[in-house]
Amino acid sequence: MTTWSFVEGEWLEGNPGLVGPMSHALWLGSCVFDGARAFEGVAPDLDLHCRRVNDSARAMGLKPLHESGEILELCQEAIAKFPRGASLYIRPMYWAEGGFVDNDPETTRFCLSVYDSPLPEPGSAAVTLSPFRRPTIETAPTNAKAACLYPNSGRALREARSRGFDNAAMLDSLGNVAELTSANIWFAKEGALHTPVPNGTFLNGITRQRMIRLLRDAGIDVYERSLTWQDFLDADEVFQTGNYGKVLPFTRIEDRNLQPGPLYARARELYWTWAHGG
């Protein structure tokens, strides 16, 4: 894939070697990142993603090296390196080079990587319940988009795929549904939409927040509340929102087949219209 990365004042092509065996991030996990999208000539909520990566850095004890507006300008510069309308993933990152157990914020480094990444098309997708759970703020840095959180999501995804599913819902420590392995989850029931209320165990996604505002402005009832897996099993529709795929339906939950429904379709339409300036 075509990749451009901004590191210490210069643009580098490909996958540059930036860390070594003594880098804190490599062996002790002090890396945060954010993910934004450019597609069809637009980059929705890019400013919010640039702001959030700095918030994540502070939550992990790192030192933000760029103002969010500077990161935004670098993102726009990177997008211009690709053909207009290209489907891109935009990933600013911070990590520490030094420290022992705790990182040394004075050794913080920054990299912005932008690369070709096709936007997934809606299709058949099955979801199951994972045996693995999301941590709480007392046990992991859940207030950051931190790389160290993703191995837990990775093992949940691996286990789900081993059983023939495409994604998995993860519970919080109390047994309520938190999110999918890397996206937020929704269901429709009797004309209303429901999604887990943020409780500090999962990322309150930027696309999720945008979708709530768009749906409510369109007159659709959206409820953020504590939800059980049974609530999803009894739903009329199930879908996901997240930066990587934006708005995508599920067509099977456990052994029950579903069809992409009207509220999912309306959500996707609202997002695309807003993203393109509507």
- pLDDT tens for 198-256 read 999 999 999 999 999 999 999 999 999 999 999 999 999 999 999 999 999 999 999 99
Is the pLDDT assigned to residue 26 strictly greater than 80? yes
- Residue 162 falls inside a structural domain: yes
Same domain assignment for residues 101 and 154 = no
How far apart CA 110 and CA 32 sit, in angstroms, is: 10
Same domain assignment for residues 133 and 257 = yes
What is the mean predicted confidence (pLDDT) over 185-194?
98
Same domain assignment for residues 154 and 214 = yes
The residue assigned the tokens 């390196």 is 81
pLDDT value at residue 236: 98
Counting the structural domains of the chain, the total is 2
What is the mean predicted confidence (pLDDT) over 18-33?
96
In contact, 18 and 10? CB cutoff 8 Å = no
pLDDT value at residue 273: 97
pTM for the structure as a whole = 0.95
pLDDT tens string 83-137:
999 999 999 999 999 999 999 999 999 999 999 999 999 999 999 999 999 999 9
How would you classify the pairing of strands 10-13 and 3-7?
Answer: antiparallel
The residue assigned the tokens 């929704």 is 186
Of the residues 69, 94, 116, the one at which a domain ends? 116
In contact, 40 and 276? CB cutoff 8 Å = yes
What is the mean predicted confidence (pLDDT) over 54-71?
98
β strands within 134-191, DSSP E: 167-171, 177-180, 184-189
What is the mean predicted confidence (pLDDT) over 173-184?
97
DSSP state of 61: T
pLDDT value at residue 212: 98
Same domain assignment for residues 93 and 134 = no
CATH number at residue 72: 3.30.470.10
Same domain assignment for residues 18 and 77 = yes
Of the residues 116, 149, 166, the one at which a domain ends? 116
Copy the structure tokens of residue 161: 């795929």
- Residue 226 falls inside a structural domain: yes
- Residue 71 falls inside a structural domain: yes
What is the mean predicted confidence (pLDDT) over 60-89?
97
Percent of the chain with pLDDT over 70: 100
Same domain assignment for residues 108 and 17 = yes
pLDDT value at residue 73: 98
Q: Report helix, strand or coil for 14.
A: coil
- Residue 255 falls inside a structural domain: yes
- Residue 121 falls inside a structural domain: no
Same domain assignment for residues 145 and 269 = yes
Same domain assignment for residues 69 and 207 = no
In contact, 119 and 245? CB cutoff 8 Å = yes
Same domain assignment for residues 207 and 141 = yes
Residue 65 parent element (H or E) = none
How far apart CA 108 and CA 271 sit, in angstroms, is: 35
pLDDT value at residue 278: 65
Same domain assignment for residues 34 and 143 = no
In contact, 207 and 179? CB cutoff 8 Å = no
Measured in degrees and rounded to the nearest 5, phi and psi for residue 239 equal -150, 175
Work out whether the CA dihedral 163, 169, 173, 175 comes out positive or negative.
negative
Domain range holding 208?
126-275
How far apart CA 51 and CA 68 sit, in angstroms, is: 5
How far apart CA 197 and CA 180 sit, in angstroms, is: 14
Of the residues 84, 116, 148, the one at which a domain ends? 116
Same domain assignment for residues 105 and 133 = no
Is the pLDDT assigned to residue 269 strictly greater than 70? yes
pLDDT value at residue 1: 87
Same domain assignment for residues 42 and 145 = no
